[in-house]
Amino acid sequence: MSRTTHILTVDVEDWFHVLEADGAPSRDEWASLESRVERNTDALLELFDRKGAKATFFVVGWVAARHGALVRRIAAAGHELASHSFWHEVMRRHDRASLRADLAASRKVLEDAMGQAVRGFRAPGASITRETAWAFDVIAEAGFTYDASLCPGVSSHGGFPSPFPGPHLVRCDAGLLAEIPSSTVSVAGRRVPYAGGGYLRLLPYAAIRSCIDREHRAGRPTNVYVHPREIDPAQPRMALSWKRRWKYYLGLATTRRKLERLLDAHRWIGCGAWLDAHGAALADRVLDARPWARGAQPAPDPRFVPPAPVLAAR
């Protein structure tokens, strides 16, 4: 079996950055909690280096602001840095102004640390839906040229009825974005993720490998996503509901080994590098998000709208 090329991504956030969960620490508490993101991300950097893999690291701005040296180590190792928002909040909890402020701060903190422009954005929880399609315009206006937020199938916090299971373009009023969606396979008529988060932790290696091969034969790269906490079985446990606990903490002990086998089996590059090589071929795959975006206005619960981030003066 030849080593085919696929896309490797990391969402750089800490163990307490869980979405929409009762029992999770509030934003005000984050700074007082033990941080494990630096050591866990360093472990991923070491693993990727040993396997010759390159990745895109979507960094939460709040993490980047506190761990500038980590951001610089990721860039120095030859990986791409991209935004995973500043406050790590789902899109439905934003309005246009709060998302604009969040994205601007997330870009600035990364660009100040590494000295070059950020191209990509990934919404927490793949949370761009039909109802939040207005976010595409805010993302494009913020200067991003690609998005990696869509899940064209089953998703806890998102899910978008896209006809494109592989990379494509998104047309919005503010222009064109390249899109690298979550990888899914067709199961009983629905698209189901297989290559990241809980699916990566839960599914046996052979099943993931077979999905990668199946999608490759259909002409689509796999987009693996992993979180630093997912290779850290010793992370503190939050008082989540039993269902969330099960989903959030399952498979922690086996993920690193599975990831190692995937890295051995294929060649891995980041989103930007993949688009540089294949972006021109996406011209005839355009998702027109304008009808969705015009029909959907932000309607967040005011209690959850994140504040404008305040960055320390340099």
Q: Where on the chain is the footprint of Zn ion (CB under 5 A)?
A: 11, 13, 124
Task: Identify which of residues 119 and 122 has a Cβ nearer to Zn ion in the complex.
Answer: 122
How far apart are CB 15 and Zn ion at their closest, in Å?
A: 12
For residues 111, 114, 119, 122, the Cα torsion angle rounded to the nearest 10 degrees is -80
* Assigned token pair, 86: 């500043």
Strands 168-172 and 267-269: unpaired
Q: Cβ atoms within 10 A of the Cβ of 115, count?
A: 9
What's the residue count for the chain? 314
Q: Cα angle vertex 264, ends 12, 212, to 5°?
A: 75
Task: Identify which of residues 61 and 167 has a Cβ nearer to Zn ion in the complex.
Answer: 61
E-only strand ranges, the chain:
5-12, 56-59, 80-83, 120-121, 146-147, 168-172, 175-179, 184-187, 190-193, 223-226, 267-269, 286-288
How far apart are CB 30 and Zn ion at their closest, in Å?
A: 14
How far apart are CB 82 and Zn ion at their closest, in Å?
A: 12
Task: Identify which of residues 63 and 140 has a Cβ nearer to Zn ion in the complex.
Answer: 63
Task: Identify which of residues 158 and 165 has a Cβ nearer to Zn ion in the complex.
Answer: 158
Its sign, for the CA torsion 133, 137, 138, 144, is positive
> Three-state DSSP class for 58?
strand
How far apart are CB 197 and Zn ion at their closest, in Å?
A: 9
> Three-state DSSP class for 178?
strand
Q: Mark out the alpha helices in 218-281 (DSSP H runs).
A: 242-249, 252-265, 271-278
d(CA 135, CA 121): 11
HSE (side-chain half, CA atoms, 13 Å) at 168: 20
How far apart are CB 183 and Zn ion at their closest, in Å?
A: 16
Task: Identify which of residues 21 and 286 has a Cβ nearer to Zn ion in the complex.
Answer: 21
How far apart are CB 206 and Zn ion at their closest, in Å?
A: 27
How far apart are CB 240 and Zn ion at their closest, in Å?
A: 16
Task: Identify which of residues 169 and 197 has a Cβ nearer to Zn ion in the complex.
Answer: 197
d(CA 298, CA 90): 12
Scored b (16 or more CB within 10 A) or e, 268-278 reads bbbbbbbbeee
Task: Identify which of residues 11 and 179 has a Cβ nearer to Zn ion in the complex.
Answer: 11
How far apart are CB 48 and Zn ion at their closest, in Å?
A: 19
Task: Identify which of residues 57 and 292 has a Cβ nearer to Zn ion in the complex.
Answer: 57
